[in-house]
């Protein structure tokens, strides 16, 4: 038994005592590198769960789309692709500002951090604004909200229930995505406040890093949602539809 | 082998149990060991609730026309039993109690990677459990734990939404636990502790965590879609509106099949530890057993369709799921053979943990082999939806997972509480459980072959004899479970004080005092030898 | 004396402790052989493992508190052997079971057809000649019978253990199973997919009769109309006849000869007009538009139940040529 446990020095990878006593080092970690790596891996694992979560939704959507393409095309054409495209651009920019915010932390620029984080929040809010006040409001006014006021239109014919199915998935997918955006904006507000108080430095910016991962993920989900929802069905004459 | 630590009288040594007192110190703890005990209390409570449902069911089934309740109540009882036992007992049991307690200790770490997240996991579990208990009290749900549509989405008049919310919430508890374990095992192993020096329990915790991460989210979205359909009736699973009720089943079983491996893999990990400790030998074929855990986790995601052979899915899909289901049986068989081979030329003792481990091997073998009947397409047609299925999964869940859990609780009890339980009573209880279990569930194989469907509140009279046998066995099984409840509680006050290593076993957890101090290790251990290094491995050989 | 005791014991066992269900269909014995083989494998390996464990437990039981056994290395050869043997056994079982399953899933040509509608919590069975039953199914012995089934509400499952068959019965679609009974007698059928409060009471009896008795049963009792005659009545009542004119001069195509005939759709695909197609055409018209016809047919969903749908389809079948073997159904 004595062999099993050699009483040695605390494990470390050569960092000096200054790091071992960093105020940000949590007691159960040995050094900041280990702590940072653990946080990173934790967020990646969490994102894996999110992939499976959205994946179940995407799989169901795919099943119904392959069964009911005509109805889904009708539904997709009823969405405004301009808003969708604008939202895509907004989100991509927000990922840029987020990445730049992390870079600012890595280079010790406190003001830039705060500005960029706030910019990211504004872009996120813009996304939500476009979605809620333009797209969803329009859908409500046009009686396209299933379970609330969805009304079949005669020109849909037999495809009507499938148009509704499209909108069921449209609303579920975009609202779950929006929920993740809202959580993300909340996270960002906390981060912006922390950054303003000088919490982050080149030695410690872990919360920014993992939140950045989360934010980019939410962005990527939208990159998938946009073509799946807005761009199906030969609207631009490519291939001619069916 | 003498212990490295001099025994100090219990009162004067500070450890994780007496370092602070008071409800707040427990409810706001971030110590993985205390969180493990919080889980132990909650899941034991849920086990008792689910157990009461089972007792009522078995009493009711003594008579063909039903001895106790109306069919509607019976349907709610079996639903409550399944939901509580699966989601609130079996899924968290070993990972959240033994896993939480042991993972840091076994790898030489001071805690899990995210201690606060760990506490949050417990609170999420409790909130989910409260939702479900509320639903049970306010009338219950009668859909079965499988919630098949369109019955659950459109026709049932029961508390589907509260239960669905409860299960949805609790799923996050699993996800966060799995996340914690994966990061901890990757990043916080002691120096020298390479992957293939890890105890096999850690391997199974890791494999189980992979399933937690990848499977549970799909259950979450499935329940979410069910809730939307039930509330808004928009046609997701309603054929009249273009929906497909079978889509629910595919989504549901995509999680729920891997879930059954969540329930058994940790038990296999415990059994590996027990067999090694009580034969004082390295597990035979360590590497093969380690890889098998992984293989089981991965293949488990590919077999969900074997729950749907008679739904009308394409026979080609049936073929594929059938062959994969046979494939997933192989790694389990490899483990059974390796455990058995470990006993060869070992030094075997028969304390209660070992009895549970050996019982596990036998019953899991039987349960697993009856799975072959169900992987076989032609026989599955006859046996699907009958008591054969019920017997099959109870052999694995109860004869396997619960026995492993009991074995692990007994084995690590001295480490967790610093006290020994009375081993003679424990052995008696283990035997009673073994006998009661077989008497309860073996007749159900016969009932299934005869054609008695499951979830039946009343049944034709010719099935009565086996039903009565099963109910008689259940009473014995119930008594068997109550005995440990009594002596474990008794031992916490009156049990003999346990040394650091009462079993003289290998493993980092046995190098710290019983109970351990809050920070586990005074100094980080450095690992220089293989797992289960009872006899050093000669040069040139591999374990 | 011995024979008497033997008979008495057999009777006692049969009466109070049945072990084996009746085997009353052509596929039953094949399934049973596989079942017995699997039982043998289970018993063999369980006993093997238990015996080895017991033997080791006794032979290697700990003799002193400090006893430490020596090192035993892992033999890769042994690992491979006990991996390969189960793989081979499983492969064999898989092939056997799948072959049986394939055989059992294909109804023979010229099966006698009957129609089953499950609803909470009873089974309605219709014979094409007209008789309808509730929770009973009369069939002739020695003749292949195909059951086409659907549900009015939730998912049920029609299970006949004595024939070793079952299949889920789903709303909105047809599923089918077939059997050929080999012994006259009375056998249970059950609902085997949980469907709500009285799931356990959704059971009934299959009456397997000799051909003569069955013919007698068919023609006896209340003389009702055949399914096709009922369907024809519905066809007129619901107004189908106004558009689907027989000589093809109406707004909609004639239905004469359409059953099991290929149909070319507007999107270019060609499908076969089988039971499922016809059902869909009635409840979801215009979902598969035809070239040259305007999509004007109204939906009858909610206006007729599943049994009436089956009667309409039976009528349409009666208009056509002889039923061809439908692919895979």
Token pair belonging to B7: 């025994």
**Residue B453, SS3 per DSSP:** strand
Confidence band of C13 (pLDDT split at 50, 70, 90) = low
ipTM attached to this prediction: 0.92
> For position B11, what pLDDT does the model report?
56
Binary contact (B455, C91; C-beta < 8 A) = no
For residue A102, count other CB atoms closer than 10 A to its CB: 19
CA A198 vs CA A105, A114, A202, A208: distances in Å: 10, 10, 11, 13
Token pair belonging to B21: 């007192």
Residue bearing tokens 């689910």: B50
Mean pLDDT to the nearest integer, A125-154: 94
Mean pLDDT to the nearest integer, B141-153: 95
Residue among A157, A161, A163, A239 with most chain C CBs within 10 A, to mutate: A157
All residues at 6 or more sequence positions from A226 whose CB lies less than 8 Å from its CB, including other chains = A84, A85, A87, A88
Higher pLDDT, C245 or C50: C50
> For position C247, what pLDDT does the model report?
77
Q: Tell me, yes or no, if C267 comes closer than 8 A to chain A by beta carbon.
A: yes
Binary contact (B453, C198; C-beta < 8 A) = no
Q: Tell me, yes or no, if A28 comes closer than 8 A to chain B by beta carbon.
A: yes
Confidence band of C130 (pLDDT split at 50, 70, 90) = confident
Residue among B168, B217, B256, B528 with most chain A CBs within 10 A, to mutate: B217
> For position C9, what pLDDT does the model report?
54
Q: Tell me, yes or no, if A55 comes closer than 8 A to chain B by beta carbon.
A: yes
Distance from CA of A155 to the nearest CA of C (A): 11
d(CA B57, CA B70): 11
> For position B10, what pLDDT does the model report?
52
pLDDT over 50 at B387, yes or no: yes
CA C214 to chain centroid: 22
Nearest 5°: CA angle at B521, between B519 and B524? 120
Residues above pLDDT 90, as percent of chain A: 79
Window 59-98 of C, Cβ < 8 Å to B = 60-63, 65-74, 78-79, 82-83, 86-87, 90-91, 93-94, 96-98
Which residue in chain B has the smallest CA separation from A5? Answer: B525
Higher pLDDT, A8 or B173: B173
DSSP-derived pairing of the beta strands C156-160 and C165-169:
antiparallel
Name chain A contacts of B233, Cβ cutoff 8 Å. 147
Name chain A contacts of B501, Cβ cutoff 8 Å. 1
Distance from CA of B343 to the nearest CA of C (A): 6
> For position C225, what pLDDT does the model report?
82
Cβ(C188)–Cβ(C160) under 8 Å? yes
Nearest 5°: CA angle at C7, between C5 and C11? 115
Residues above pLDDT 90, as percent of chain B: 94
Token pair belonging to B177: 């636990």
pLDDT in tens, A30-89: 999 999 999 999 999 999 999 999 999 999 999 999 999 889 999 999 999 999 999 999
**Residue A33, SS3 per DSSP:** helix
Mean pLDDT to the nearest integer, C154-163: 96
Token pair belonging to B179: 């996340």
> For position A18, what pLDDT does the model report?
47
H helix or E strand, kind and range, residue B316:
helix B315-343
Give the E-state strand segments of B40-132 in sequence order.
none
For residue B7, count other CB atoms closer than 10 A to its CB: 13
Q: What is the mean pLDDT of chain C?
A: 88
Distance from CA of A71 to the nearest CA of C (A): 10
Radius of gyration, alpha carbons of chain C: 28
pLDDT over 50 at B59, yes or no: yes
pLDDT in tens, A189-221: 999 999 999 999 998 999 999 999 999 999 999
> For position C249, what pLDDT does the model report?
75
pLDDT in tens, C281-312: 888 887 778 888 887 788 888 888 899 999 99
> For position B246, what pLDDT does the model report?
95
pLDDT over 90 at C243, yes or no: no
For residue C61, count other CB atoms closer than 10 A to its CB: 14
Mean pLDDT to the nearest integer, C268-289: 86
Cβ(B1)–Cβ(A2) under 8 Å? no
All residues at 6 or more sequence positions from B229 whose CB lies less than 8 Å from its CB, including other chains = B149, B153, B154, B235, B236, B237, B238, B243
Nearest 10 degrees: Cα torsion C45, C47, C52, C57: 140
A54 Rama sector, left if φ>0, alpha if ψ -120 to 50, beta otherwise: alpha
Q: What is the mean pLDDT of chain B?
A: 94
Which residue in chain A has the smallest CA separation from C284? Answer: A158
DSSP-derived pairing of the beta strands C132-134 and C185-191:
unpaired
Cβ(C170)–Cβ(B245) under 8 Å? yes
Residues above pLDDT 90, as percent of chain C: 55
Q: Give buried/exposed letters for B18-30 (b at 16+ CB in 10 A, else e).
A: eeeeeeeeeeebb
> For position B300, what pLDDT does the model report?
97
pLDDT over 80 at A235, yes or no: no
Which residue in chain A has the smallest CA separation from C267? Answer: A242
**Residue B501, SS3 per DSSP:** coil
d(CA B307, CA B313): 11
CA B208 to chain centroid: 10
d(CA C302, CA C89): 52
Radius of gyration, alpha carbons of chain A: 23
d(CA A219, CA B26): 40
Nearest 5°: CA angle at B78, between B75 and B79? 80
Q: Tell me, yes or no, if C327 comes closer than 8 A to chain B by beta carbon.
A: no
Residue among A2, A3, A4 with most chain B CBs within 10 A, to mutate: A4
All chains having 3 or more CB pairs closer than 8 angstroms to chain B: A, C
Binary contact (B1, A60; C-beta < 8 A) = no
Please give the backbone phi and psi of residue B199, each rounded to the nearest 5 degrees, phi first: -60, 150
CA B403 vs CA B123, B264, C56, C73: distances in Å: 27, 11, 21, 29
| CA atoms B121, B32, B256, C189: torsion sign | negative
Please give the backbone phi and psi of residue C264, each rounded to the nearest 5 degrees, phi first: -90, 130
> Measuring CA to CA, which residue among B120, B136, B116 is closest to residue B50?
B136
> Measuring CA to CA, which residue among B334, B18, B40 is closest to residue B200?
B334
User: What are chain C's domains?
Assistant: 112-220 (2.60.40.420), 227-327 (1.10.760.10)
Higher pLDDT, A61 or A15: A61
Is this structure's pTM higher than 0.95? no
C290 Rama sector, left if φ>0, alpha if ψ -120 to 50, beta otherwise: beta
**Residue C271, SS3 per DSSP:** strand
Token pair belonging to B338: 């390796």
pLDDT over 50 at A17, yes or no: no
d(CA B324, CA B334): 16
In this predicted structure, which of B214-228, B395-409, C217-231 has the lowest mean pLDDT? C217-231
Distance from CA of C100 to the nearest CA of B (A): 6
Binary contact (A157, C299; C-beta < 8 A) = no
**Residue B130, SS3 per DSSP:** helix
CA B230 vs CA B134, B138, B166, B238, C86: distances in Å: 19, 18, 16, 10, 45
Name chain B contacts of C68, Cβ cutoff 8 Å. 1, 280, 347, 534-535
Distance from CA of C102 to the nearest CA of A (A): 27
């Amino acid at each position: 038994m004595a062999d099993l446990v050699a009483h040695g020095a605390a494990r470390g990878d050569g960092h000096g005592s200054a790091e071992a006593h960093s105020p940000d080092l949590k007691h159960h970690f040995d050094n900041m590198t280990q702590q940072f790596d653990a946080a990173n891996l934790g967020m990646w694992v969490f994102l894996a769960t999110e992939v499976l979560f959205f994946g179940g939704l995407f799989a169901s959507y795919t099943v119904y789309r392959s069964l009911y393409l005509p109805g889904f095309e009708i539904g997709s054409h009823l969405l405004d692709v301009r808003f969708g495209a604008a939202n895509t651009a907004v989100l991509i920019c927000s990922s840029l500002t987020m990445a730049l915010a992390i870079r600012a932390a890595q280079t010790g620029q406190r003001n830039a951090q705060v500005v960029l984080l706030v910019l990211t929040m504004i872009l996120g809010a813009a996304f939500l604004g476009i979605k809620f006040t333009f797209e969803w409001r329009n859908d409500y006014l046009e009686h396209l909200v299933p379970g609330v006021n969805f009304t079949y239109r005669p020109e849909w014919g037999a495809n009507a229930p499938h148009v509704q199915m499209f909108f069921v998935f449209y609303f579920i997918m975009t609202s779950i995505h929006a929920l993740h955006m809202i959580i993300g904006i909340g996270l960002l507000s906390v981060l912006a406040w922390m950054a303003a108080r000088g919490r982050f430095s080149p030695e410690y910016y872990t919360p920014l890093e993992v939140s950045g991962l989360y934010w980019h993920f939410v962005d990527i989900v939208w990159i998938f949602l946009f073509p799946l929802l807005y761009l199906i069905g030969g609207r631009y004459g490519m291939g001619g539809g069916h | 082998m003498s212990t490295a630590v001099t025994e100090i009288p219990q009162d004067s040594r500070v450890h994780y149990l007496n370092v602070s007192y008071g409800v707040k110190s427990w409810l706001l703890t971030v110590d993985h060991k205390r969180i493990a005990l919080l889980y132990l209390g909650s899941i034991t409570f849920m086990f008792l609730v689910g157990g009461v449902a089972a007792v009522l069911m078995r009493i009711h089934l003594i008579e063909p026309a039903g001895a106790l309740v109306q069919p509607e109540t019976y349907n709610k009882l079996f639903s409550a039993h399944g939901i509580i036992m699966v989601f609130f007992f079996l899924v968290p049991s070993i990972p959240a109690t033994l896993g939480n307690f042991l993972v840091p200790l076994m790898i030489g770490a001071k805690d899990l990677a995210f201690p606060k997240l760990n506490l949050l996991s417990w609170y999420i579990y409790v909130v989910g459990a409260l939702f479900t208990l509320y639903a049970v009290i306010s009338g219950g749900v009668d859909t079965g734990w499988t919630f098949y549509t369109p019955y659950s989405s459109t026709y049932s008049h029961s508390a589907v939404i509260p239960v669905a919310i409860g299960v949805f919430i609790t799923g996050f508890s699993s996800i966060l636990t799995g996340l914690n374990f994966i990061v901890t095992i990757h990043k916080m192993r002691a120096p020298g502790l390479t992957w293939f020096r890890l105890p096999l329990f850690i391997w199974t915790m890791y494999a189980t965590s992979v399933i937690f991460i990848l499977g549970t989210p799909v259950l979450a979205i499935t329940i979410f879609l069910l809730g939307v359909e039930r509330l808004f009736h928009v046609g997701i699973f309603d054929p009249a509106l273009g929906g497909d009720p079978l889509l629910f089943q595919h989504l549901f079983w995509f999680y729920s099949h891997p879930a059954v491996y969540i329930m058994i893999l940790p038990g296999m990990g415990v059994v590996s530890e027990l067999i090694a400790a009580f034969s004082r030998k390295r597990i035979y074929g360590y590497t093969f057993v380690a890889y098998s855990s992984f293989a089981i986790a991965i293949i488990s995601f590919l077999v969900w369709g074997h729950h749907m052979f008679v739904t009308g899915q394409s026979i080609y899909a049936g073929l594929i799921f059938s062959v994969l289901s046979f494939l997933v049986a192989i790694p389990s068989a490899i483990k059974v053979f390796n455990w058995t081979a470990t006993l060869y030329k070992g030094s075997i003792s028969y304390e209660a943990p070992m009895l549970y481990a050996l019982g596990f091997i036998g019953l899991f073998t039987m349960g697993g082999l009856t799975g072959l009947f169900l992987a076989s397409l032609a026989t599955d047609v006859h046996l699907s939806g009958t008591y054969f299925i019920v017997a099959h999964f109870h052999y694995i869940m109860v004869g396997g997972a619960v026995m492993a859990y009991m074995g692990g609780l007994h084995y690590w009890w001295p480490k967790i509480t610093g006290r020994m339980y009375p081993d003679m009573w424990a052995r008696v209880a283990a035997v009673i459980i073994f006998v009661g279990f077989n008497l309860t569930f073996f007749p159900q194989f016969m009932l299934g072959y005869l054609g008695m469907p499951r979830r039946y509140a009343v049944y034709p009279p010719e099935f009565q004899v086996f039903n009565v046998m099963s109910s008689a066995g259940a009473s014995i099984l119930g008594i068997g479970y109550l005995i440990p409840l009594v002596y474990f509680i008794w031992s916490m006050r009156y049990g003999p004080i346990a040394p650091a290593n009462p079993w003289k076993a290998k493993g980092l957890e046995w190098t710290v005092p019983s109970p351990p101090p809050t920070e586990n290790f005074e100094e980080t251990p450095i690992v220089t030898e293989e797992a289960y290094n009872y006899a050093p491995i000669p040069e040139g050989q591999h374990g | 004396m011995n024979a008497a005791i033997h008979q008495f014991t057999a009777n006692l066992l049969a009466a109070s402790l049945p072990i084996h269900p009746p085997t009353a269909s052509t596929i039953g014995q094949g399934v049973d052989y596989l079942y017995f083989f699997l039982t043998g494998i289970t018993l063999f390996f369980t006993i093997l493992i238990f015996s080895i464990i017991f033997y080791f437990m006794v032979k290697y039981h700990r003799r002193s508190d400090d006893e430490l056994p020596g090192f035993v290395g892992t033999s890769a050869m042994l690992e491979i052997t006990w991996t390969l043997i189960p793989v081979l056994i499983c492969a064999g079982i898989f092939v056997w079971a799948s072959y049986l399953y394939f055989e059992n899933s294909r109804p023979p040509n010229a099966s006698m057809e009957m129609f089953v509608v499950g609803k909470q919590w009873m089974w309605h069975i219709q014979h094409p000649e007209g008789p309808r039953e509730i929770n009973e199914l009369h069939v002739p012995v020695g003749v292949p019978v195909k059951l086409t089934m659907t549900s009015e509400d939730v998912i049920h499952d029609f299970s006949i253990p004595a024939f070793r068959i079952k299949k889920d019965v789903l709303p909105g679609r047809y599923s089918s199973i077939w059997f050929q009974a080999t012994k006259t007698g009375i056998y249970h059928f059950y609902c085997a997919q949980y469907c709500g409060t009285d799931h356990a009471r959704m059971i009934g009896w299959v009456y397997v009769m000799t051909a003569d008795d069955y013919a007698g049963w068919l023609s006896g009792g209340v003389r009702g109309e055949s399914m096709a005659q009922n369907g024809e009545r519905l066809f007129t009542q619901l107004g189908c006849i106004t558009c689907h004119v027989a000589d093809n001069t109406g707004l909609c195509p004639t239905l004469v000869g359409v059953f099991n005939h290929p149909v070319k759709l507007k999107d270019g695909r060609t499908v076969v007009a089988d039971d499922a197609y016809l059902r869909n055409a009635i409840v979801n018209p215009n979902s598969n538009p035809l070239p040259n016809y305007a999509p004007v047919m109204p939906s009858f969903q909610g206006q007729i139940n599943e049994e009436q749908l089956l009667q309409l389809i039976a009528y349409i079948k009666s208009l056509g040529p002889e039923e061809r073997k439908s692919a895979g159904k």
